[in-house]
Structure formats: C-alpha cells, structure tokens
Amino acid sequence: MAQALKYDFVSLEDYLLGEHDVDMRSEYVAGRIYAMAGASRTHNTIASSFHALIETHLREECRVWQSDMKTVAQQKGEYFAYYPDIMATCSIRDEDEYICTNPTLIVEILSDSTERTDLKEKFDNYTTIPSLLEYVVVSQDVPLVRLWRRRTSWELERYRTDDTFRLESVELDVPVQYIYRRVRKEVGLDVAR
C-alpha cells in the first residue's frame, strides 16, 4: 500500500514542479503525496507485453506510454495525479511534456498492494476524465482482465484465459493469453505435471 510522503496539504502546482526531476515517483490525491511502490517482474512483464501489443497497433497520430507518464484531472474540486501502468491517447493537448490530461485508455496491472486503490479510488477518479473511453485492470496472479467502458456507463466486463476482448478506444482485439504469454507459469497457465 502507498504511504503518504507529506501529510500537510501540497498544491498541485508544487507537486508537479517537484515531480520533474525525482528519483522516486509519487502520486497526488487531493493535496497529499503518496510514494509509489516498486513493481515485480511479473507485473512489469505483463505491462510490457500489453504495451507492446498496443504500441505496434496504434495509428500514427496516437501515443501510448508505460508507467512514466502521469495523468492529471479533477473530481469534485479535488485534483489527482497518477502514473497509470499504460495510458493511450490519439490527441496530444498538453503543453507539459510530463502530463496527459486526455487519455482515451488507461490500464492498471493489479497487485496485492494496489488492489483497493486500482479498483476503487482510481476507478472513481479515472472515470471522471471526460476523454477516457475505457479503463482496464489486469490481474498479475491469475489470467483475469476487468474492463469498464464509458459507453456502457462503466459496467464491468470480465475476460478470462481463452477470451479475446476488444479495446474500442484503440480499435484492437486482445487475446487474454497474449497478455500473459511470458508469465504463463506465474499465473497458473503452465502447471507442472
């Protein structure tokens, strides 16, 4: 679980200025700054495979980032800034090279320490971003992908091992097994006999 680095209120502007040249990234929620935990090999492998699939498919005018690009938005007068595991957009609107305020797709790779945040807090905040069309949460323990879409009023869809799902935001069909192809043993797809 993320630990608050600063308990006193910090303005969004001060957070953003301080975040440009840091050794340890942090996320910002309503005036508080939270340290980000490191990610496991399994987490990074899943994120890399999924990112590569999206990257090789995207139209030229689109961009996809993995982990180091933050999104900033506002809900009920409070600002938040997160570093999604994967984020894509087909319209760059921001002058700041370190921010994307109009993603169409956000993907988070779930871990034990981020489950509550990814499925509740981030879901609630991400779905207020007007440009966001899809939010995807990928389990790193079992082959399970959860997908929410704006066009269905954020109704949950679940996809498992043999399923293929469509990312409408980037016009891509994704086989669940492809996301897990390099971590089959870690997620129980290859079981020793």
Which sequence spans correspond to the domains of the chain? 40-179
- The answer, yes or no, to whether residue 193 has pLDDT greater than 50, is no
- Structure confidence at residue 5 (pLDDT): 52
pLDDT band at 38 (very low <50, low <70, confident <90, very high): confident
d(CA 9, CA 32): 6
- Structure confidence at residue 192 (pLDDT): 57
Q: 40-179, what's its fold?
A: tt1808, chain A (3.90.1570)
| 134 close to 150: Cβ distance less than 8 angstroms | yes
Specify the pTM: 0.91
pLDDT band at 6 (very low <50, low <70, confident <90, very high): low
